[in-house]
Amino acid sequence: MLKDSDKATKIEVVPGILTSAYVVGIDVTFADKRAIAYNSNRECYSIIGGHVEEKETAIEAALRELKEETGISPPSYKVKPVDWHLRHPKGICAQPFKLDTTRVPTPQKGDEITKFAFLTNEELPNFMSQNYFEPFSQKYYEVALKNGCSLGK
């Protein structure tokens, strides 16, 4: 378990390295259900999130992506880092976060996220088997469910 949440939220972006090598994902829960985003550009479901921009920390990227994709602007202390990371075979490092919110995530005009599915942990495996997920997001949810990661909180 992480004792110092700042350690998990700071990603140093090295000059000359593509910032797309660093991503954040935010596991948002509302009313005890996970908000699963549908990306109309990619025609798949995914975790809320995206790339860390140059000179941006992971928590700053998570807060920006939350606002862009859901319209939610929580205080940074409510967005908590998960105490494990995912690494893609191509070297992409993902920092997951979680947020339990009382505000309904809503697709934002002009964003690629056009709808949300709200699912319990029990509903998620069946939903994943019937719908196409962006591979990174699918891996995140598989690991989260396997490790017993609770919704939000």
Domain residue spans of the chain: 5-146
Q: What is the mean pLDDT of residues 109-135?
A: 93
CA distance 11 to 52: 8
Beta bridge partners of 38: 45, 115
Q: State the burial class of residue 110 (Cβ atoms within 10 Å of its Cβ: 0-12, 13-18, 19+).
A: exposed
User: Hey, which CATH number is domain 5-146, 3.30.930.10, 3.30.420.40, 3.20.20.70, 3.90.79.10?
Assistant: 3.90.79.10
CA 151/CA 123 separation, integer angstroms: 13
Write the pLDDT tens digit of every residue in 136-149. 888 888 888 887 66
How does pLDDT run across 7-53, given as a tens digit for each residue?
Answer: 333 444 444 444 456 788 899 999 999 999 999 998 999 999 988 88
User: What sign results for the dihedral spanned by CA atoms 138, 45, 29, 64?
Assistant: positive
